[in-house]
Structure 1
């Protein structure tokens, strides 16, 4: 059985699948630090009842990966008695039976040490633009370095804004046996705390119930299986992992503070977090070493500006330093298109909080693979209520310069499970350019017990499409609309602030981006059909579509302001609240693309030989149809003439042909 094994309903399907896929594609060229994505803390989502069981945890991890969460925060506990990173907050081994020199976890025998990783070459899986593995094998990982200075990623400070809101080896066990262990302050241990305990044995330690098989290795194995299983999926996405480092509490007093491990008992070699991550996930890791190298020379082979334009991160989002023909940046990040489609990598890992007991941990040993604290997240102080985000939103009327709207890596914890407007809060945070981080248990159930409330939270962060969108033509017909296959163009609804599939043959104003700036929008000077509305965009503007939630929020504000200022104009119908966006599925149904004449990138490309066969065939069909029409018209004329002669009348009847 696969370690990644979500419930069937947890996997996006139908309209949610299309919405998530198209939203991923919209942001492919935006640097990843400006694409705010839903996140979840695994402790409240998977271990709400203080039960740390490997089988239930595997189901929980799988469901959260499937439902649409993109950021994961995991609490790791260094269990000095077993020399491993556990997800259980309590030491589960007998310290008397282990020594510093010989203690090891059998499950880690197959791990690759950081030293051997640095000296070896890593085979990769390069992919083409539609996610299909290619035959070209490329190095997926740069050489690991021990210097921590090489892994430092610069972080632009986030300004304080008070802005009103716009409305494949692990073994799983069921774990059925419960063994009593020392509780309270009793300084005793039992055979249940030996390193040889069965992974299926449930060990009670104070308020916690744990199995010995639940460790970081299990999580990374599931993550690796998920990344491998979805490697060629259309909606394959990048994931972010934040690791909080703790020291496990002693078994003699599970609720007490953990002891500070001695230097000799701290993690080393194969027990370093980077080594465990690299064991099964090295091929997927985008690393600090690679980021620093690419920032230093943007034009170098394999760097951001050396690839096709569709994979280049939009330079409007970061400062580019030009020194002659040499381009570099200090604050830029690559786009998901570059990381995933060019480098074939899908995982970024960084440190979260670190207990004081682990201050002496060997961070330099991880520096090549794990991002420093603060590199992948910037907590944002936010005040919210039933009316929306009161303070902390990155949208501010009249403030459109990117330097004043620095939402880089912004996150905010959502931790009030009793809040009746939890999905609305997730939606509002997303619209404000802030990644909502779910840090509470929903409906008093874990994601293993019921994935649905967690899926609803993740889906609430879909910022582009409205409820039930993008609808298809049959849905439009069911709603009383004409079923004419014209509902293939995206339009922004001013009231909802979200998008809907609209009839491409109707006339609306269009969204025009000013000077390619993310947050500066103008409404076209005239209305037009979808394929013609770009003519109405003025000088230094282009017909465009929002690519992030915050870009959309700025466009919503500009569109509402325009409607308010022009509500008395003759050419503005009171009911015309739709604004054309440069987004459509005209080339292939349900394949939404940016650009009026863009082809779907997920369809097999037609060969010239195919076109040579098709064109003559089509021409022959046209000639045949024209010939048939000619005969038909002549016959009809002859019949009319014959009738007129027989009836001897001068008046005839009108022939209704094809309109010119």
Structure 2
């Protein structure tokens, strides 16, 4: 049974098409220039300190289904169990079952309690982490409640005929921990479904199997289920390395593991990552091999599948191979050529784990901050990016100040309510995307995690769509008898969502979006309006009719439209903000995107073909047409043979026929 099991509300067709279009137009752009939504798992899944298997399964599944691609993962080395855990505190080793025992009272004190849990259970366990004692009980009712402002000091009374206490080690108390005791209680109570029991360790409620390999297993099932679908995409993982806090002081600082307690082969982080992802991880070794000979890697494609030009530098080495020092492949090569789906790097590493040897992991996981580059930004209350935006209308090439390679920015605190409309972009997130950043969520939305209420997270992810306007593209199968209505795409520079795309009639006359293929951000317009079908010849020399492939390319096209518009010449063209603009005489502008081949399948190129949707109507036609054509051909062949034979017989008759034929016919393999 797959562990990838989202429970998101069903998405409408326009959003499915919007996500798919955003991915597909960027297929040939290096992945380091893509803008994708990201989140900290701590913020989105574990903000209430509930580290439970089912919660992680549902939360991560929902985030993946919502469109999140980047994940900041806090992993904790539990030296006592020699495992990479997601629980911030160490878990005690398993306690042997003690039959026929009960507990009269369970009491403990812990400061700064967060989280809440309520359970009616049949099992309770008290483990004294400091002194190594254990008390175990059966057939008891536990009423466990935590509060952010009060400490845990609950008593559970058990009525039995002869209550006993089971201790191990020099326990100083058999029934009661006095208020204010330094001892930490670990209480076990049932969790969801078939999950292992939850252990309450200070402020954390954790299962014993809430480990990194569970997260990797969920991600592995996701990549398998979406490998050959329109949902296929690359996931980026950044691992923040911590040492787990000791079980006897979960609120305190973690202790530095000794050299003998550090991970060894079999427990390296890379061992866990590759355990369930097999050959789906794109590694530093693969990147180095691809870069050293582009002719045998990214350039070994059909001409129409070659990488976008202008995004990285190249040179020719002594072996006459084209090489690059800063290039990355695109989705077309990674996902659909080689089937890689995951890239990982290291983030922060706590001082306690400074002695952990990263060298063995660097064959699989990229070094610290290799695939993410955090840059400071300032965002106003209305969501406008007032400083740090990487878009500059004057930079037509990639410069040091406008380099968006791996650029990420943490989103500001958002107040969007518990039931936001996902069709309305969140201004701050949309504007960060337009500035070339992948927005990273580092706070919990609406005080709820994505397993409990995924709607706010869906709204966040959809706000990073820089292509279609809300509720676009229009369902082309619902168009009237005009075959070209709503089957072409155009950008509007004005209105409520400037720079976003909408469907238009292909036979209408509009200016064309024209792009210099060698310069990523060099966009202009055709000299005059024309129909979409004239796009191949409508652009100035050196430019081609094109569709923007990244959010920053889209912002540059918007700037070109604004600067070309007479009625909007005084409006600012140096901002990619989504703020509404006045009407323009130049709107809209055709971009090279259409669904002419198959309804609702948007492809680039006037003669582009849909690579995804089955042509059902065409297939039904073929069922009738193909046999009919075959029958006609057979009939024509038979008729041709008949006439050839008749002609041959007439010639024989005119020559007096030197030989007699039985009945006048000789059948020599004529189709029956």
Give the TM-score of the pair, scaled to structure 1: 0.74
Q: Is the counterpart of residue 239 in structure 1 residue 238 in structure 2?
A: no
How far, CA to CA, are the matches of 1:537 and 1:566 in structure 2?
Answer: 22
Q: What CA distance in whole angstroms lies between the structure 1 residues aligned with 2:5 and 2:612?
A: 26
Helix, strand or coil for the counterpart of 1:279?
helix
Task: Figure out how many residues of one structure are paired with residues of the other and give that number.
Answer: 528
Measured after TM superposition, the shift of residue 232 of structure 1 is 1.4
Separation in structure 2 between the aligned mates of residue 441 and residue 27 of structure 1, nearest angstrom: 30
RMSD of aligned residue pairs (Cα, Å): 3.2
8 Å contact kept, 1:417–1:441 = no
What is the correspondence of 1:215-614 to structure 2 with a 5 Å cutoff?
A: 215-300=211-296, 303-323=297-317, 325-385=320-380, 386-404=382-400, 405-418=402-415, 423-473=426-476, 484-495=483-494, 496-564=498-566, 575-602=585-612
CA contact (8 A) 1:39 1:70 kept: yes
Q: For residues 355-395 of structure 1, what are the alpha-carbon distances to aligned partners after superposition, in whole Å with 9 as ceiling and x for unaligned?
A: 11111112111111101112110001000011510011111
590-599 vs 204-213, greater mean Cα deviation: 204-213
Greater C-alpha radius of gyration: 2
Q: Provide the secondary structure at the position in 1 that maps to 2:310.
A: helix
CA contact (8 A) 2:79 2:257 kept: yes
**Would the alpha carbon gap of residues 178 and 431 (structure 1) be closer, same or farther in structure 2, given more than 3 Å must change?**
farther
Identify if the C-alpha distance between structure 1 residues 89 and 186 changes in structure 2 by more than 3 Å, giving closer, same or farther: farther
Alpha-carbon distance in 2 for matches of 1:210, 1:438: 23
In 1, Cα distance between the equivalents of 2:505 and 2:518? 27
Secondary structure of the structure 2 residue equivalent to 1:437 = strand
Q: Equivalent residue for 1:210?
A: 206
Structure 2 counterparts to residues 32-47 of structure 1, below 5 A: 32-47=31-46
Residue-by-residue CA offset, 1:328-364 (whole Å, 9 max, x unaligned)? 1100000011011111111111111111111111211
The residue correspondences of 1:618-657 to structure 2 (distance < 5 A) are none
CA 1:299–1:502: 2 relative to 1, 3 Å:
same
Shift of 1:200: 2.5
Aligned residues of 1:311 and 1:335 also touching (Cα < 8 A):
no
Query: Hey, what does 1:124 align to over in structure 2?
Result: none
TM-score, normalising length: structure 2: 0.73
Q: Which is worse superposed, 341-350 or 320-329?
A: 320-329
Distance 1:362 1:96 in 2: 32
Name the CA distance, whole Å, in 2 between partners of 1:250 and 1:353: 20
Separation in 2, partners of 1:231, 1:267: 32
Mapped contact 1:340–1:346 kept (Cα < 8 A): yes
- Once the 2 structures are TM-superposed, how far is the Cα of residue 514 of structure 1 from its aligned partner? 2.3
Question: Per the alignment, in what secondary structure is the counterpart of residue 290 of structure 1?
Answer: helix
Deviations 1:149-174 (A, max 9, x none): xxxxxxxxxxxxxxxxxxxxxxxxx9
For the 8 Å contact 1:182–1:206, the answer to whether it is kept is no
Q: Which runs of 5 or more residues in structure 1 are unaligned?
A: 98-173, 621-660
Partners in 2 of 1:452 and 1:191 — Cα distance? 34
- Shift in CA distance, 182/448, structure 1 to aligned 2, threshold 3 Å: farther
Aligned residue for 1:2?
A: 2
CA–CA separation in structure 1 for the residues paired with 2:415 and 2:614: 49
User: Aligned to 1:19, what secondary structure does the other structure show?
Assistant: helix
Which stretch shows the higher mean deviation, 243-252 or 534-543?
534-543
Q: CA deviation at 1:566?
A: 8.0
CA contact (8 A) 1:81 1:95 kept: no
Distance 2:284 2:323 in 1: 16
Distance 1:272 1:578, change over 3 A: same
Q: Which structure's residues are more often helix, by fraction? A: 1
Q: CA deviation at 1:539?
A: 1.0
C-alpha separation between the residues in 2 aligned to 1:498 and 1:422? 11
Q: Which residue of 2 aligns with 1:69?
A: 68
Q: CA deviation at 1:594?
A: 1.1
Q: Give distance in 1, aligned partners of 2:278 and 2:415.
A: 40
